[in-house]
A and B are shown apart, each in its own frame.
Chain A
Amino acid sequence: MTRWSDHLLIAPVILPLLAGAALLLFNERRRQLKSAVSMVTVTALLICAVLLILRTDAAPQALVYRLGDWPAPFAIVFVADRLSAVMVLLTAILAITSLLFSLARWHSVGAHFHSLFLFLLAGLNGAFLTGDLFNLFVFFELLLAASYGLALHGSGILRVRAGLHYIAVNLAASLLFLIGVSLIYNVAGTLNMADLAQRIPHLPAADRPLLEAGAALLGIVFLVKAGIWPLGFWLPPTYSAAAPPIAAMFSIMSKVGIYAILRLWLLLFGDGGDALFGHPLLLAGGIATILFGAMGALASQDMPRLASFCVLVSSGTVLSVLAMGQSGLTGPVLFYLVSSTVAIAVFFMLIEVIERGRDPVAEMLAVTREFYGEEDEKEEEEGAGVAFTATLAALGLCFVACTVMIAGLPPLSGFIAKFAILTTLLNAAGPAPVSWTTWLVFATMIASGLLMLIAMVRAGIRTVWLPEAHIVSRVRLVEIVPIIALLLVSVTMTVRAEPVMRYMQATAGALHDSENYIRSVLPERPAQKAKGGGS
């Protein structure tokens, strides 16, 4: 009889799946019951995530859970190593804060919010924990299907229009996923990630082009999810139109693609040194994404659009730094990933609170005044200053914290992440001269930080400092608590930066040591030649 704790790896998927399904049986009007059930489930998820982190930190190998207890390469396996644990914890933190935020009013603007939210969490956790390629596809579809429903939550022309494009693009990407997975299956004969990692070095050279074609298709799918430059045009309209707590959850969905690339490329192509498969394209695409995101942020007229371009900049930074192919960079870039995801999530929630009470006419006046350069502001300059309400002051401080986190300025975690990345970039060459790609990534990161700073400071001045904008409606406790909590997460990452960075370095070390992963999933079997004939 297995203990309950043996099922820790499947709990992050089963709990929200069952809870979400159970909630469907209740009448839509029983909102308090639904809110209570989903809060309890998400709290349980947070506890599971923390337990996962503690157990993966203590275990020498990755934790493995074989569904149905079938033997290793035939069973669908759930594998929890440090990276999966970090992503599951990040999901849980974002989930509990977004859900808390949505309890103010967003959960009731449409039907089935809580069920869809829980299914989204089940899909996310499953995608992070699975060790089987087709199972990854299934969990991708689960989380995408839930996200289609959530992106449309609250309806309205903007959301439906953005949702149509979002669904069409992602359906096409899913079809590409299927083609890629089936190509890899055809060549290697297995779908288990660890088994693939064992078999791929021994494939005949004639099969290699097919394998790389399949991997390239998979890469395209993951990059579509991440929002890389020519494939990410669906992202700003969808994220800016989505309801704010849902946009906050979406900020981690763009990182699922990056997780998949990190996991699969290092496992399947790890024998080619530290360079990722297709890294020139990843580098070029990543830099283009950063520039596109930064310019889009500068050009955006309203703040949800600004926040969605921040998502692009964060994705692009992670991709271009990973494409540099230095194993010492993986730890800092994971730190950056966590920090920027938290920053963007809290930004989405903060925008909604700040903009709620704003007068759209006053905003348009402010823009036209700035554009046409009217000079009769003299009457504002008399007196001791502008009066702020305490609410507005608090929100303004939160906005400053967001700006600092997103732009990568001290003292918050965005700075530590950027500093760690830039230092490692420059030091990695040792006594040799630094390559031009390193300088390119360096310059792009610093330039994007500056551009994000300009964009966000300008938006902040318009919303918080301008006298016409001082109409802030009541902010409920259940909305400000998640914002403060996420900012405290960033502060904790700053104050306790050393333990966090050490954990990220250990995560990176475990990632690059694919033998460890393979051994934990396939303990007994020695490395095999690919089976001839058959399948």
Chain B
Amino acid sequence: MELVLSIAIGVLAGSGVWLILRPRTFQVIMGLMLLSYAVNLFILGMGRLRVGAPAIVPKGQTIDPSQFADPLPQSLVLTAIVIGFATTALFLVVLIASRGLTGTDHVDGREREP
């Protein structure tokens, strides 16, 4: 399980970093989205991976917390997803505005001189 998750995070993060460094704005935003997927998976993984142990306490019982999944990283991931969603939307708007104002989709606003 850890292996699958690690490989997934690694692939997503690697692709994200490569895309972020590209010169086209659409590639940059794709890279940011892939990186945010990787980071969200990473945060979830930080709560240690446990299969089949939802963080729900049966009513009225005292429990051993180490038998359940950690709920805090799950809430951290939710917060991060929501924040990432809002900033992605904002970045898309700026991307479109930049395309309109500069006429090109290059991140620098103009093509590189040959």
Contacts and interface: CB of A to CB of B under 8 A. Distances in A.
A178 B90 contact: no
A535 interface: yes
Given A171-B32, A182-B76, A164 B95 contact: yes
Contacts of B40: 178
Contacts of B51: none
B86 interface: yes
Q: Identify which of A149, A157, A171 gathers the most chain B CB atoms within 10 Å of its CB.
A: A171
A185 B36 CA distance: 18
A534 B42 CA distance: 18
Nearest to A138: B79
Q: Identify which of A160, A172, A178 gathers the most chain B CB atoms within 10 Å of its CB.
A: A178
Interface string B44-75: 00111000000000000000011000101100
Given A168-B20, A182-B73, A160 B98 contact: yes
A443 to B, nearest CB: 36
Interface in B1-55: 20, 25, 28, 32, 35-36, 39-40, 42-43, 46-48
Interface string A481-502: 0000000000000000000000
Nearest to B68: A534
Interface string A182-209: 1101100001000000000000000000
Contact of A156 (B28, B83, B87, B101): B101
A103 B70 CA distance: 50
Interface string A503-535: 000000000000000000000000000000111
Contacts of A111: none
A188 B106 CA distance: 43
A419 interface: no
B79 A134 contact: yes
Contacts of B72: 185, 191, 535
A55 interface: no
Q: Is the interface of A mostly helix, strand, loop or mixed?
A: helix
Given A138-B83, A175-B35, A535-B47, A160 B94 contact: yes
Contacts of B35: 172, 175
Interface residues of B, number: 35
A212 to B, nearest CB: 16
Q: Identify which of A175, A185, A191 gathers the most chain B CB atoms within 10 Å of its CB.
A: A175
Nearest to A140: B83
Contact of B107 (A138, A157, A165, A174): A165
Nearest to A185: B46
Interface string A140-169: 010001001100100111001101110110
Given A160-B98, A175-B35, A167 B46 contact: no
Q: Is the interface of B mostly helix, strand, loop or mixed?
A: helix
A179 interface: yes
A172 B43 contact: no
B50 to A, nearest CB: 11
A145 B32 contact: no
Nearest to A156: B101
A161 B87 contact: no
Given A161-B108, A175-B39, A533-B66, A145 B87 contact: yes
B42 A145 contact: no
B20 A164 contact: no
Nearest to B90: A148
B107 A182 contact: no
A145 B43 contact: no
A171 B70 CA distance: 27
A174 B39 CA distance: 10
Nearest to A142: B83
Contacts of B73: 182, 185
Contacts of A172: 20, 32, 35
B39 A157 contact: no
A242 to B, nearest CB: 14
B43 A182 contact: yes
B34 to A, nearest CB: 10
Contacts of B76: 134, 178, 181-182, 185
Given A134-B79, A172-B35, A167 B91 contact: yes
A149 B20 CA distance: 22
Contacts of B25: 164
A168 B22 CA distance: 12
A141 B101 contact: no
Contact of A535 (B32, B65, B80): B65
B42 A182 contact: yes
Contacts of B108: 161
Contacts of B91: 167-168, 171
A191 B79 CA distance: 15
Contacts of A155: 97, 101
Nearest to A167: B91
Given A168-B32, A168-B91, A172-B35, A157 B79 contact: no
A160 B20 contact: no
A167 B86 CA distance: 12
A163 B96 CA distance: 12
A148 B91 CA distance: 9
A110 to B, nearest CB: 12
A161 B42 contact: no
Given A171-B91, A179-B43, 8 more contacts: A148-B87, A148-B94, A152-B97, A155-B101, A157-B101, A157-B102, A161-B109, A164-B109
10 contacts: A134-B76, A157-B102, A157-B109, A164-B25, A167-B91, A167-B94, A168-B91, A172-B20, A172-B35, A191-B72
Interface of A: 134, 138, 141, 145, 148-149, 152, 155-157, 160-161, 163-165, 167-168, 171-172, 174-175, 178-179, 181-183, 185-186, 191, 533-535
